[in-house]
Structure 1
Amino acid sequence: MAVAFPAGRRRAPLRALGTTALTTVLCAALTAALAPPALADPKPTVKRLEKELADLRKESDKLIEDYYHGRREQQRAEQAEKAAREKLAESQAVFDRHATELRAMAVGQYMYGGSESMSLFTGAEDRDALIRRLALTRHLVDEQEATLSGFAQVRDGHRQAKEEAEARADELAAGVRELEDRREKAEQTIEKIRDKIDQLHHAPGRRADGTFVPQLPDGPDNITPRMRLVRDLIEKRFGRGPGIGCYRPIQDGGEHPLGRACDFMLSRGGAFPSPAEVQRGHEIAAWVIKNGRRLGIMYVIYRQRIWHVRTGAWRMMTDRGGTTANHYDHPHVSVY
Structure 2
Amino acid sequence: MAVASSADRRRGPLRARTTAAFKGLTAGLAVALLLVVPATAGHADPKPSVKRLEKELAELSKDSDKLIEDYYHGRREQQDAEKAEKAAREKLEAAQEVYDRESTQLRAMAVSEYIGGRPSPLTLIADSGEYTFTMSRLALSDFLISQQEARLSGFTRVRDEHRRAQQEAADLAEELDATVDDIDERRKKAKKLIEKIKDKIDQLHKAPGRRSDGTFVPQLPGGSDNITPRMRLVKTLIAQRFEVPYGIGCYRAIQDGGQHPLGRACDFMLSRGGTMPSGAEIERGEEIAKWAIKNAKRLGIMYIIYRQRIWHIRTGGWRVMTDRGGTTANHYDHPHISVY
Q: Give the direction of change, closer, same or farther, for the CA distance of 1:134–1:230 in structure 2 (3 Å limit).
A: same
Aligned to 1:331: 335
Deviation at residue 115 of structure 1 after TM alignment: 11
Aligned to 1:31: none
Give the paired residue count: 286
> Which of 147, 153, 164 pairs up with 1:143?
147
User: Could you tell me how far apart the structure 1 residues matched to 2:119 and 2:94 are?
Assistant: 39
Aligned to 1:263: 267
Q: Does the CA contact (< 8 Å) of 1:224 and 1:260 recur in 2?
A: yes
What code does the residue aligned with 2:335 have? P
What code does the residue aligned with 1:166 have? A
What code does the residue aligned with 1:294 have? R
Aligned to 2:197: 193
Q: Does 1:98 align with 2:102?
A: yes
Identity among equivalent pairs (%): 71
Aligned to 1:214: 218
Q: Does 1:277 align with 2:281?
A: yes
User: Could you tell me how far apart the structure 1 residues matched to 2:315 and 2:97 are?
Assistant: 70
Aligned to 1:8: none
Structure 1 window deviating more from structure 2 (150-159 vs 103-112): it is: 150-159
Aligned to 1:295: 299
Q: Which runs of 5+ in 2 are unaligned?
A: 1-41, 121-134
User: Could you tell me how far apart the structure 2 residues matched to 1:242 and 1:86 are?
Assistant: 44
Structure 1 window deviating more from structure 2 (46-55 vs 286-295): it is: 46-55
Q: Does the CA contact (< 8 Å) of 1:241 and 1:264 recur in 2?
A: no
Deviation at residue 40 of structure 1 after TM alignment: 11
User: Could you tell me how far apart the structure 1 residues matched to 2:183 and 2:319 are?
Assistant: 40
Q: Tell me the secondary structure at the aligned position of residue 286 of structure 1.
A: helix
Deviation at residue 256 of structure 1 after TM alignment: 1.4
Q: Tell me the secondary structure at the aligned position of residue 304 of structure 2.
A: strand
* Superposition CA RMSD, Å: 2.5
Q: Tell me the secondary structure at the aligned position of residue 334 of structure 1.
A: strand
Q: Does the CA contact (< 8 Å) of 2:78 and 2:180 recur in 1?
A: yes
User: Could you tell me how far apart the structure 2 residues matched to 1:236 and 1:187 are?
Assistant: 17
TM-score normalised by structure 1 residue count: 0.79
Q: Does 1:44 align with 2:44?
A: no
User: Could you tell me how far apart the structure 1 residues matched to 2:136 and 2:309 are?
Assistant: 98
User: Could you tell me how far apart the structure 2 residues matched to 1:227 and 1:256 are?
Assistant: 10
Q: List structure 1 segments (4+ residues) > 4 angstroms apart after TM superposition.
A: 38-41
Deviation at residue 150 of structure 1 after TM alignment: 2.6
What code does the residue aligned with 1:319 have? D
Aligned to 1:228: 232
Q: Tell me the secondary structure at the aligned position of residue 209 of structure 1.
A: coil
Deviation at residue 112 of structure 1 after TM alignment: 2.4
Aligned to 2:68: 64
Aligned to 2:6: none
> Which of 157, 161, 167 pairs up with 1:153?
157
Deviation at residue 230 of structure 1 after TM alignment: 0.6
Q: Give the direction of change, closer, same or farther, for the CA distance of 1:310–1:164 in structure 2 (3 Å limit).
A: same
User: Could you tell me how far apart the structure 1 residues matched to 2:272 and 2:78 are?
Assistant: 38
Q: Does the CA contact (< 8 Å) of 2:250 and 2:265 recur in 1?
A: yes
Larger Rg: 1
User: Could you tell me how far apart the structure 1 residues matched to 2:215 and 2:119 are?
Assistant: 110
User: Could you tell me how far apart the structure 2 residues matched to 1:55 and 1:249 are?
Assistant: 44
Q: Tell me the secondary structure at the aligned position of residue 267 of structure 2.
A: strand
User: Could you tell me how far apart the structure 1 residues matched to 2:254 and 2:54 are?
Assistant: 42
Deviation at residue 43 of structure 1 after TM alignment: 2.5
What code does the residue aligned with 2:212 have? A
Aligned to 1:242: 246
Q: Which runs of 5+ in 1 are unaligned?
A: 1-37, 117-130
Aligned to 1:83: 87
Q: Give the direction of change, closer, same or farther, for the CA distance of 1:103–1:300 in structure 2 (3 Å limit).
A: same
User: Could you tell me how far apart the structure 2 residues matched to 1:264 and 1:103 are?
Assistant: 72
Query: Deviations for 1:94-120, whole angstroms, at most 9, x for unmatched residues?
Result: 21221122111111211122899xxxx
Deviation at residue 60 of structure 1 after TM alignment: 1.0
Q: Does 1:315 align with 2:303?
A: no
Query: Deviations for 1:42-79, whole angstroms, at most 9, x for unmatched residues?
Result: 22321232222122112111111111211221122122
Q: Does the CA contact (< 8 Å) of 2:113 and 2:119 recur in 1?
A: no
Structure 1 window deviating more from structure 2 (295-304 vs 139-148): it is: 139-148
